[in-house]
Amino acid sequence: MTRWSGYYLHTTREVPSDAEVVSHQLMARAGMIKKLAAGIYTYLPFGWRSIAKLSAIVRREMDAAGAVELVMPSIQPAELWQESGRWQRYGKELLRMKDRHDREFCYGPTHEEVITDFVRRDVKSYRQLPFNLYQIQTKFRDEIRPRFGLMRGREFLMKDAYSFSATEESLDRVYEAMRNAYCRIFEACGLAYTVVEADTGTIGGSSSHEFMVTAATGESAVVHCPACGYGANQEKAERGEWTRPPAEPPAALEKVATPGKKTIEEVASFLALPKEKLVKTLVYNTEQGLVVALVRGDREINPVKLQNALSGVDHLELASEERIERELGLPTGFVGPVGLDEGVRILADRSVAGLDDFACGANEADHHLIHVHWQRDVRLAEFADLVLVVEGDPCPRCGSPLGLSRGIEVGHIFKLGTKYSEAMKCEFTDEAGGNRPMIMGCYGLGIGRTVAAAIEQGHDADGIVWPLPLAPFSVLVVGLSPNDPVAMAAAESLVAELEGRGVDVLFDDRDERPGVKFKDADLIGLPVRAVVGGKSFAAGQAELSLRHDRERISVPLAEALPKLLELIDRLR
């Protein structure tokens, strides 16, 4: 029997000063987590129960989908990361360390290298494929801005799975099985979520989906089409065709003085032109040298799309003023595509393809060009979809206006293809006796982040409102009169009866005033509550309620058990 008096559950009214989102505030106040250092938390017993319940759901669905559990080391040798090429590429999120022999290691932020290394040593033949291995384990990523408690920690729990196949069709089948398993997991948790297309980022690969729990505080922007169901995260979202403005008779190119006017806003107002008639010129630093990107003045470049369009570029950042001056000999703020050095690669978003009378920087300090005309004035750029999609843009599938909302990315699945198996020579012999790299997939799910997301979706002004499947306990039995042994004995036997029926119960047997007990009950948010004691007990009754509507029902004590079982059933 879990008695609160002997449990370790300390609620507090104090909100940690760094707790910006409600899930972080409530997890701290409800005694679920305790911060040790930035982004590093202890899972206290009450929080760990929720984590354990989610883990059990995840295991059940992974096993049902044919995945097999194992646990890999969290400390990983640098050599494997050098083989895959990520030792250089991963950057500062990778926590690197040395052992006493000066050998380099990292704390695993993900496990592609480790798994590919042992699979290549064990598996040789197409007959041993496919398989899918998963673990639930601690990861470390030295996040630039750890925040929101478990939502973006540095040390955090992830379920990660890796599949190995002989053919693309086999990968497609495993991927589909994982996608369905993820849907069942988030449904089983009682969460509102969407599945969206995602960019494959530094992990690489051909196709990827994210699972987003809808929440206003989510860090991810999600684009969706209410008409056809297209969904993508904003990094990935494509924009449908631009309607071309009507062709304008080309006016003569003209250079105008725009002293000190550098930003689009300044130039637009100075020239009395709408921002749509300006072309914004951005200079990026890449390992292939400087790259110029063009977008319509009222829109933003999506750096992820630009990076993908450049292919082979791993790092992209806006070039500094000094670098632009030094390498292009041009003043920042006045750069434009007309007459730009032939050696510089120019990519243009499709938004500017239809503009035939636009203004842009003149490549001369304090000057802009107006009446610029493609072909006549500018060497042809490479056109691509580079724009950051915004609300109302046309859907790339059906053309209807797109919506934009926020979400918490709780799961992410990738078709990796042969990226790691080629780099690390993880090969098998096919039916014809030839050697081929295995075809991989990887499937991540944030355990702590999902629990936090459940609280973002389930709370009110007084505390957490748990969905039953993730609640640390299903029922709270409140012993309202700690000094009345008869009432406490009745409460205790109700707890025992519930436990006898397989229900997990927290028994509030603390020597506290009713007001404290009720406040705490609301804060910790267990779905079903039974109050035994006080006036109602004197009348032979127990008071039952559900956390989400708090409607109280009085029942004779003898009927409390069946009624509670019925209430629990209703929440399932």
In the complex with ligand ATP, which residue's Cβ is closer, 446 or 458?
446
Which DSSP category does 301 fall into?
B
What x-and-dash track marks residues 377-416 binding ligand ATP by CB under 6 A? Answer: --------------------------------xxxx----
At 535, the amino acid letter reads: K
In the complex with ligand ATP, which residue's Cβ is closer, 195 or 565?
195
What x-and-dash track marks residues 97-116 binding ligand ATP by CB under 6 A? Answer: -------------x------
| Binding residue (CB under 6 A) for ligand ATP from 158, 291, 306, 544 | 158
At 463, the amino acid letter reads: G
Nearest alpha-carbon partner for 517 in 504, 533, 501, 535: 533
β partners of residue 37: 40
Contact between residue 333 and residue 263 where contact means Cβ atoms under 8 Å apart: yes
| Binding residue (CB under 6 A) for ligand ATP from 130, 297, 396, 446 | 446
Q: Which range of residues in 68-76, 180-188, 299-307, 444-452 is near ligand ATP by CB under 6 A? A: 444-452
Q: Considering the complex, what minimum distance in angstroms separates the CB of residue 467 from ligand ATP?
A: 18
CB-based closest residue to ligand ATP: 446
Residues 459, 460, 461: CA angle, nearest 5 degrees:
135
Q: Considering the complex, what minimum distance in angstroms separates the CB of residue 409 from ligand ATP?
A: 5
In the complex with ligand ATP, which residue's Cβ is closer, 143 or 314?
143
At 68, the amino acid letter reads: V
In the complex with ligand ATP, which residue's Cβ is closer, 386 or 410?
410
The first and second tokens of residue 96, run together, are 């690197």
Contact between residue 302 and residue 389 where contact means Cβ atoms under 8 Å apart: yes
Say whether 418 sits in a helix, a strand or coil: coil
In the complex with ligand ATP, which residue's Cβ is closer, 106 or 488?
106
What x-and-dash track marks residues 451-490 binding ligand ATP by CB under 6 A? Answer: ----------------------------------------
Q: Considering the complex, what minimum distance in angstroms separates the CB of residue 485 from ligand ATP?
A: 47
How would you classify the pairing of strands 505-508 and 2-3?
Answer: parallel
Contact between residue 213 and residue 407 where contact means Cβ atoms under 8 Å apart: yes
As a whole number of angstroms, the distance between CA 322 and CA 305 comes to 26
In the complex with ligand ATP, which residue's Cβ is closer, 156 or 162?
156
Q: Considering the complex, what minimum distance in angstroms separates the CB of residue 567 from ligand ATP?
A: 32
Q: Total number of residues binding ligand ATP (CB under 6 A)?
A: 15
Phi/psi of residue 296, each to 5°? -60, 145
User: Considering only residues 44-83, where is the footprint of ligand ATP by CB under 6 A?
Assistant: none
Q: Produce one character per residue of 71-92: b if its CB has 16 or more CB atoms within 10 Å, e if not.
A: ebebebbbebbebbebbeebee
Q: Which range of residues in 162-170, 342-350, 443-451, 547-555 is near ligand ATP by CB under 6 A? A: 443-451
Contact between residue 281 and residue 336 where contact means Cβ atoms under 8 Å apart: yes
Q: Considering the complex, what minimum distance in angstroms separates the CB of residue 384 from ligand ATP?
A: 23
As a whole number of angstroms, the distance between CA 444 and CA 454 comes to 18
In the complex with ligand ATP, which residue's Cβ is closer, 442 or 557?
442
Q: Considering the complex, what minimum distance in angstroms separates the CB of residue 320 from ligand ATP?
A: 26
> CA neighbours within 13 Å on the CB side: how many for 219?
13
As a whole number of angstroms, the distance between CA 209 and CA 445 comes to 12
In terms of residues, how long is the chain? 572
Enclosing H/E stretch for 529:
strand 528-532
User: Considering only residues 204-243, where is the footprint of ligand ATP by CB under 6 A?
Assistant: none
Conformational region of residue 117, where left means phi above 0, alpha means psi within -120 to 50, and beta covers everything else:
alpha
Q: Considering the complex, what minimum distance in angstroms separates the CB of residue 143 from ligand ATP?
A: 5
| Binding residue (CB under 6 A) for ligand ATP from 41, 43, 156, 374 | 156
Contact between residue 87 and residue 80 where contact means Cβ atoms under 8 Å apart: no
In the complex with ligand ATP, which residue's Cβ is closer, 29 or 159?
159
User: Considering only residues 135-154, where is the footprint of ligand ATP by CB under 6 A?
Assistant: 141, 143, 152-153
| Binding residue (CB under 6 A) for ligand ATP from 444, 472, 482, 533 | 444
In the complex with ligand ATP, which residue's Cβ is closer, 178 or 488?
178
Q: Which range of residues in 329-337, 383-391, 445-453, 531-539 is near ligand ATP by CB under 6 A? A: 445-453
Alpha-carbon distances of 70 from 63, 418, 446, rounded to whole Å: 12, 22, 17
How would you classify the pairing of strands 33-37 and 95-98?
Answer: unpaired
Which DSSP category does 121 fall into?
H
Q: Considering the complex, what minimum distance in angstroms separates the CB of residue 289 from ligand ATP?
A: 28
Contacts with ligand ATP by CB under 6 A lie at 110, 141, 143, 152-153, 156, 158, 409-412, 444, 446, 448-449
